[in-house]
Amino acid sequence: MHIGLIGAGMMGHGMAVNLLKHGHALSVIAHRNRAPVDDLVARGATEARDLAAIASADVILLCVTTSKVVAETVAGLKPHLRPGQIILDSGTSAPDATRRLASDLKSLGVAYADIPLTGGPEQAEQGILGVLCGADDQTFARIHPLLSAFATTIKHFGPPGSGHTAKLISNYLVTGMVALVSEAFGAARKAQIDWKALYEVMLNGSGNSGVLRKMVEPALKGDFDGYRFALGNANKDIGYYAELAAKLGCSSHLTDSVAEIFAKAVETGHGGRNVSHLLDPAIDDVT
């Protein structure tokens, strides 16, 4: 199958490598960073000059940052699309925006599916991601073999938008845990409790989690980039979740408190840093 990739970043590159390994033809378009594009071309991908060239693919895979960027990208693709194509949004987007795009593209005979991911760049490179899919049944059946190239857990949650809904709920849990870990270890610092000893004991208890291990273990060695998830992206995701929670009637003070932590990090100039920098005692001194 011919895949057109827009967004060869940390996640997109790993997914693309596995698509090539599974024998799919791949076209990729350069953005800001040429290194991953050059690597994919060296592995057998073709570099597309523009969106029109990308739109020659059977399936167009988007790995971009926000619903706004997704909508702008689809608008650029739209004049070049043809019936029978599929567009996949692998980012974390607002479900309402996803449903609007799916409805709009359906009138052109183009299928649209949301396939947000669980796992990070390492899992993308290894081809062991999780996929939370929103698509009609026919589209899900068509894309399942493709998703299997880079994911080991693939779940179909319902029509377009349902994958993004499930992903926002999942990311709310993750961002909440990040906030708790950062505040708990901040309190430990102020109380002069040894981080290493506390962490090692926590590994034997209910507080043990992927978030705890990703954030704290590298931080013990002075590395605050252990959890490779940007504060700006976390802020975007919790913002989408807050909108969803309000529509569902399940907003809470907890939602607001978690959102405030990430909003403050972005407001103070740290949006480009990874979430594990919330553990860094010097974060307020760095711009």
Q: Which helix (H) or strand (E) holds 47?
A: strand 46-48
Q: Which domains does the chain have, with CATH numbers?
A: 2-160 (3.40.50.720), 165-285 (1.10.1040.10)
Report strand pairing: 117-118 vs 129-134: antiparallel
Which DSSP helix (H) or strand (E) runs through 125? helix 121-126
pLDDT above 60 (res 286):
no
pLDDT-based confidence at 287, cuts 50/70/90? Answer: very low
pLDDT range class, residue 30, cuts 50, 70, 90: confident
pLDDT computed for residue 270 by the predictor: 94
In 3D space, the residue among 127, 165, 161 whose CA is nearest the CA of residue 146 turns out to be: 127
Q: Tens digits of per-residue pLDDT, 268-279?
A: 999 999 999 999
What Cα–Cα distance (Å) separates residue 81 from each residue in 106, 108, 187? Answer: 11, 8, 54
Determine what percent of the chain falls in helix, strand and coil, rounding each to the nearest 5: 55, 15, 30
d(CA 211, CA 260): 19
Average pLDDT, the chain: 95
Q: Does the structure show a pLDDT above 80 at 32? A: no
φ, ψ of residue 102 in degrees (nearest 5): -60, -40
For residues 116 and 88, the answer to whether their CB atoms sit within 8 Å is no
pLDDT > 70: what percent of the chain? Answer: 99
- Residue 26 near residue 46, CB atoms below 8 Å: yes
pLDDT at 133: 98
Q: In this structure, how many other beta carbons lie within 10 angstroms of the beta carbon of residue 116?
A: 24
Rounded average pLDDT over 229-234: 95
Beta partners for residue 153, in sequence order: 130
* Radius of gyration of the chain measured on its C-alpha atoms: 20
How far apart CA 219 and CA 204 sit, in angstroms, is 19
Going by pLDDT thresholds of 50, 70 and 90, the confidence category of residue 283 is: confident
Contact 250, 188 (CB under 8 A): no
Please check the confidence at residue 259 and state whether its pLDDT lies above 50. yes
Residues near 56 by Cβ (< 8 Å), separated by ≥ 6? 2, 4, 27, 80
Residue 213: predicted pLDDT = 97
- Show the DSSP H helices in 9-86 as ranges: 10-21, 34-42, 51-54, 67-77
The rounded distance, in Å, linking the Cα atoms of 94 and 68 is: 9
pLDDT for residue 31 is more than 80? no
Residues 6+ positions from 184 with CB-CB distance below 8 Å: none
Burial (0-12, 13-18, 19+ Cβ within 10 Å), 188: middle
Question: What mean pLDDT is predicted for residues 116-129?
Answer: 95
User: How does pLDDT run across 64-77, given as a tens digit for each residue?
Assistant: 999 999 999 999 99
Q: Mean pLDDT across the stretch 96-103?
A: 97
Summarize pLDDT for 127-172 with one digit per residue, the tens.
Answer: 999 999 999 999 999 999 999 999 999 999 999 999 999 999 999 9
